[in-house]
Amino acid sequence: MSIAFIFPGQGSQTVGMGAELAQAFATAREVFQEIDDALGQKLFKLMAEGPEGDLTLTENAQPALMAVSLAVTRVLEKEFGVGVDKAAFVAGHSLGEYSALAAAGAITLADTARLLKLRGLAMQRAVAVGEGAMASLIGPRTDLALAEAAAVAGSEVGVCVVANDNNHGNVVISGTKAAVDKAIEKAKELGARAIPLNVSAPFHCPLMQAAADEMEEALARTTIIAPRTPLVANVTAAPVHDPDVIRRLLVEQITGRVRWRESMTWLAGEGGVTRFVEAGAGKVLSGMAKRIAPDSEAVPLNSPADLEAFAKSL
C-alpha cells in the first residue's frame, strides 16, 4: 500500500475547524499557538469561534487551513508515530501546497504561516474587488477541452483562463468579470452548468501577476530545504524536491493552473499511490480522489477518531 498525503485549499474552511483536535491533543494546541505567535494574531480563536465572514477572508482562510492540516500531521507523528515520511508523496491544492511543504519539513511552520498571510493579502491587493471573477463549470459533459473552449470565448473581451482542473465534471475558470461572464455563456452552450464563485479575487490567472511578484520577493528571503517526502507540484503535476525549483513553482502557481486532476492521475498511475490521505479541514479532496482514481482509497482526517482509526489501519 502506497500513501500520498493531500492537503486542502481555500473553500474547505468552516467555523469550529481544529477545535476538536485542540481539545484532544496538546500537540495541536502547540501548533495553533505557534501560528498565532508567528502572525501576532489570535487566528485560532477566529477559527474556533468565527465570525465566518472574517474567517473566509483570504488572508485568514489560507493560514487557518494550513494550521488545521499541520495540527493533523503533527498529532499523527507525535501521538501515533505516523510521520509524513511514511508517505510516498505529498500534494496540496493551491494554498495546500504550502501545507504539504510544511508537513514535509521543507518550510518552517512559522515561515509558512507568514507566507500564507502575505499570499492572501497580495492576492487581494492584485485586483480591485468586483473587477475579477471565477466560475465553476460542472456536469458530466464538463472536461478540460470544454473549459478551454469557454475560456477562449471569454478571452475575446478580457482575461479568461482555466484556473483549476479539479476532475472530470469540475473545472474552474478565472479572469476579468466580463470575460468570465462570456465564458459562462459559451460553457452553457457546450452543455456545462456554470456556477459563479463567491471569491474576493480571480485566483490562478494572469491578473494575479502583482501577487506573484510579491511572493517571489518573500520566497527569496525564506529558507526552503528539500522536503522529506517529494511534492507533486500544482503547475507541473510531477514530483519535485529541489528547493530552488520548489521556490520557482510556488511563484508560478499564483498565476498558473492548478493541475489537480493530472496530479492525482500521476500519483495513482506512475506514482503507484493506492491510498490518499486528506490531512486537514473538510473532505473536498477525498471526493475528488474517488472520482479521479476510483480504484484507490481516500481517507479524510478531520477528528481525533479519524486519526486514531487511520493510525491503527497501518
* The pairing of beta strand 89-92 with beta strand 3-7: parallel
Q: What is the pLDDT of residues 245-255, one digit of tens each?
A: 999 999 999 99
DSSP 219-287: HHTS-----SS-EE-TTTSSEE--HHHHHHHHHHHHHS-B-HHHHHHHHHTTT---EEEEESSSSHHHH
Active-site choice (12, 200, 204, 286): 204
In the prediction, which pLDDT does 200 show? Answer: 82
Question: Of 164, 147, 175, 136, whose CA–CA distance to 258 is shortest?
Answer: 164
In the prediction, which pLDDT does 144 show? Answer: 97
* Phi-psi category of residue 142: left, alpha or beta, with phi > 0 → left and psi -120 to 50 → alpha: beta
Looking at residues 156-181, what average pLDDT do you find? 98
Looking at residues 253-258, what average pLDDT do you find? 98
- CA 28 to centroid of chain Cα atoms: 20
What is the distance between the alpha carbons of residues 22 and 72, in angstroms, rounded to a whole number?
10
Confidence band of 1 (pLDDT split at 50, 70, 90): confident
- Whether the ω angle into residue 51 lies within 30 degrees of 0, i.e. cis, is yes
Q: Which three cell numbers stand for residue 104?
A: 514535509
Which residues, 6 or more positions from 196, have their beta carbon under 8 angstroms from its beta carbon?
A: 133, 134, 135, 180, 184
Active-site choice (94, 99, 136, 174): 94
> Is residue 99 among the annotated active site residues?
no
The alpha-helical segments, DSSP class H, found in 157-208 are 177-189
In the prediction, which pLDDT does 75 show? Answer: 98
> Is residue 204 among the annotated active site residues?
yes
Sheet holding 170-176, edge to edge: 160-167, 170-176, 132-138, 193-196
* Superfamily per CATH, domain 3-126+207-313: Malonyl-Coenzyme A Acyl Carrier Protein, domain 2 (3.40.366.10)
Q: Does residue 157 have a pLDDT over 80? A: yes
What fold is seen in the domain 132-199? Answer: Alpha-Beta Plaits (3.30.70)
In the prediction, which pLDDT does 199 show? Answer: 85
Q: What is the pLDDT of residues 53-111, one digit of tens each?
A: 999 999 999 999 999 999 999 999 999 999 999 999 999 999 999 999 999 999 999 99
Q: What is the pLDDT of residues 25-46, one digit of tens each?
A: 999 999 999 999 999 999 999 9
User: Where in the chain are the domains?
Assistant: 3-126+207-313, 132-199
Where do we find the cell 496538546? 26
